[in-house]
Amino acid sequence: MKIIRTKNSDEMSRKAANIFFSKLISKPSAVLGLATGGTVVGLYKNLIESCKNGDLDFSEVKTVNLDEYVGIGSENGQSYRYYMDNNLFNQVNIKRENTYLPNGLAGDISAECARYNELIESLGGIDIQLLGLGLNGHIGFNEPADAFASVVHAVDLDESTIEANARFFADKNDVPKKAITMGIQNIMRAKKIVLCVSGKQKSKILNEVLFGDITPRVPGSVLQLHRNVIVVADEDALEG
């Protein structure tokens, strides 16, 4: 793992955006694995700015997101589709049909998981997978468990995840209890992984992810086994 230490979250966002920038320059048709959450909003702002300046072109880019809540759709301001449209897709020249997320409103959730898994395969590999880190060590919505879940699957969200994500909802009871997420194998197959972490509240779990035992109880710890991971983290997250 390569660790890039930054002074603050702004610098984390710029440095992480630069990794995507250089990939898109060398491969304009790259497949990007994308993430949601507060941590990566600044990175997307940097990409938008570069696109508006004419330095980045998304016309051939394809994106595949890590996860989506079950039970809410693109019109709902808390869905990850809405987040992606708002924080990136509507502000760059990407083709909407090249942006993929699981459908949280699918009638048959296990069929939707299988469909999304096949879709990821059909894209021929993710060039860069962006990740944030949950307070409990989750990546995507791979929650602490007894075993690593390999492919796309539906998951019951941890009480701690519901608590952590309640800040985005009017009421904690509005937070969906289930989600569809890429599995660990989908994530680990990406050619490169960029993990962004910011803030003192993540320092304990980041330390476990980077230096602790590799265990499904700390899902992010599996990243120690990937040969091309760049962790971009600010001082607060690295030192607490």
Catalytic residue ranges: 67, 136, 138, 143
Ranges within 35-54 binding ligand GLP (CB under 6 A): 35-39
Q: Which long-range contacts (CB under 8 A, 24 or more apart) does 53-60 make?
A: 55/21, 56/21, 56/24, 56/25, 56/92, 57/24, 57/28, 57/93, 58/24, 58/92, 58/93, 58/94, 59/28, 59/93, 59/94, 59/95, 60/28, 60/29
> Does residue 134 belong to the site contacting ligand GLP (CB under 6 A)?
yes
Q: Which of 6, 165, 186, 221 binds ligand GLP (CB under 6 A)?
A: 165
Nearer of residues 33 and 105 to ligand GLP, judged by Cβ: 33
Q: Is the dihedral of CA 110, 111, 113, 117 positive or negative?
A: positive
Stretch that binds ligand GLP, among 4-12, 23-31, 131-139, 145-153 (CB under 6 A): 131-139
CB closer to ligand GLP, 124 vs 170? 170
Of the two residues 50 and 181, which places its CB atom closer to ligand GLP in the complex? 181
Q: Which span sits near ligand GLP by CB under 6 A: 12-20, 31-39, 50-58, 106-114?
A: 31-39
Site string for ligand GLP, 52-91 (x = CB under 6 A): --------------xx------------------------
Token digits for 52? 């508006």
Sheet with 62-65, strands from edge to edge, namely 2-6, 229-234, 192-197, 128-131, 31-34, 62-65, 99-100
Task: Tell me the closest approach of the beta carbon of residue 84 to ligand GLP, in angstroms.
Answer: 12
Pairing of strands 192-197, 229-234: parallel
Pick the stretch among 30-38, 104-112, 119-127, 184-192 that binds ligand GLP (CB under 6 A): 30-38
Is residue 190 involved in binding ligand GLP (CB under 6 A)? Answer: no
Residue 161 sits at φ, ψ, to 5 deg, of: -70, -40
The count of C-alpha atoms lying within 13 angstroms of the C-alpha of 227, restricted to the half-sphere facing its C-beta, is 1
Binding site for ligand GLP (CB under 6 A): 35-39, 66-67, 132-134, 140-141, 161, 165
